Amino acid sequence: MSGVRVLELGSFIAGPFAGQLLADYGAEVIKIEPPTGGDPMRRWGVVQDGQSLWWPAIARNKKSVALDLRDPDGQAVLRALAARCDVVLENFRPGTLDAWGLGYQTLADINPGIIVVHVSGLGQTGPRSREAGFGSIGEAMGGIRFTTGDAGSRPARTGISLGDSLAALFAVVGTSTALVERAASGRGQEVDVAIYEAVAALMESTMVDYERAGTLRTRTGSVLPGVAPSNVYRTADGADIAIAGNADAVYRRLCDAMGRPELATDPRFDDHEARGRNSAVLDEEIERWTTSLPAPDLLRILADNGVPAGKIYTAADMVTDAHYAARQMVLRPETAGGTAGPMAGIVPKFSRTPGEVSAVGPRLGEHTRAVLDELAGVDGKAWDDLLQRGIVAQ
C-alpha cells in the first residue's frame, strides 16, 4: 500500500487497529489526536512509565498529528489535509464528522477520490445508528456472546476485544476494495462498517438453522455438539491440549496413536453420527490416555500420526514458541529508548512485498509540524497562531 495516504481519526481499538494494519502493509497513516492527552489508548490496559504497553504496537508505523477537531480552525486544517489524502478512517459516533463540517460530501467536494471509512457500533443508518455502541454491545447484538461460554452459564466474553478487532479487519477489507474500485472509476465512496455486523458476518449458519430448522445454537463450552472427538484434554503435566480427530480417517489415526485400534470399529464410535451421539464417553477414553503422558510426548505422538493437535497457549507460550519465532510473529523492534514489544508480527505474509514495522507508536504530536507544513501549508505565523491557541501540539 505504499503511496496510499490515510488520515486516521478516532480512538481506542476499532479504527486504530485498522490503521495499524494499513500501516503494516505500507500505507502512510497520519493519526489525528486531541492536543490534550491524545488517544486514550496511550494510557489503556497495562501501563508502565505512564504509557500503555499496547501503544507501541497499535500505533506502529503511524505519524502523530495533534489537532483539535472541535475548533473551526482545526477543522479547516483537517479539510486541507483530506485534500491530499486517499482515505479517511474514523470511528466517531455517526453524525460527529458532519457536525464538524467534515462529513463525506464536504470532503468529496474537495477531493472527489476520497474514501471515507466509517467504523461504528451500529452503522451509519438505521433506527439505532446514532446510539453509542462499543465493541461489547456489538458482540452482544452480533450473536457471539450468546454462543460463548459453558453450557448453563451466562453469556461470556472471549477475553479480547473481538468485536472491535473484527470491525477493523472488515474496515481494511472495505478500504482495499474501495481503492481497487477507485482505480477503475476515479471516484471515492463511503465504507460503512458496523461492529455488530462484523460479528454477525462470522456467525456461520446460526440464523438459517434457527429459522428453517428451529435449532438455536448456544453455549457448549469447549465441545462442538455432534462433532467428536473435538475437545480439550488434560495431560499428565497439567497442560491442556486441543485435539481435532473428528474426520473418520483422522479418528482412525488417533485410535492407532492411542494404542486403541479397537475404538475405531466400536459401534459407538465407528462413524461421525455415532461419535457425535457418544461424545462424552469417547472424551473419557481419550482423556484417560492423554493424562498418562506429558504434553511434549503427547504432541509428538499425535503429530507423528497426523492428528491435528495443539497446546492451549498462554502469552508465555507464544513468546517462547519456535514456530512463532520462525514465522516472525513475535517482534521486538529496536527504538531510541531501547527495545519495544514483544508485539504480534504482520499478518498475512507476502512473498514479494512483505510489510514491516519501521517505527513504534510515536509520542503525541511528534509529526504535527512536519505534516501540516508539507500537506496543509501551515507554517510561519499560521503555525505559531495555532500552537499558541492550543489547536495543535508538538
**Identity of the residue numbered 55:** W
Q: How many CB atoms lie within 10 A of CB 24?
A: 21
Indicate which residue of 39, 86, 164, 283 is catalytic.
164
373 among known catalytic residues: no
Least Cα distance to 368 among 383, 382, 380, 358 occurs for: 383
Task: Give CA–CA dist 281/242, Å, rounded.
Answer: 17
- Preceding amide of 342 cis, omega within 30: yes
CB 63 within 8 A of CB 375: no
Interstrand relation of 338-339 and 334-335 (parallel, antiparallel or unpaired)? antiparallel
Q: Could you give the CA distance from residue 89 to residue 5 in angstroms, rounded to a whole number? A: 11
The β-bridge partners of 88 are 7, 116
Of 37, 4, 41, which Cα lies nearest the Cα of 21? 4
**Which phi-psi region, left, alpha or beta, contains residue 116 (left: φ > 0; alpha: ψ -120 to 50)?**
beta
User: Phi and psi at residue 89, in whole multiples of 5°?
Assistant: -110, 120
Catalytic residues: 164
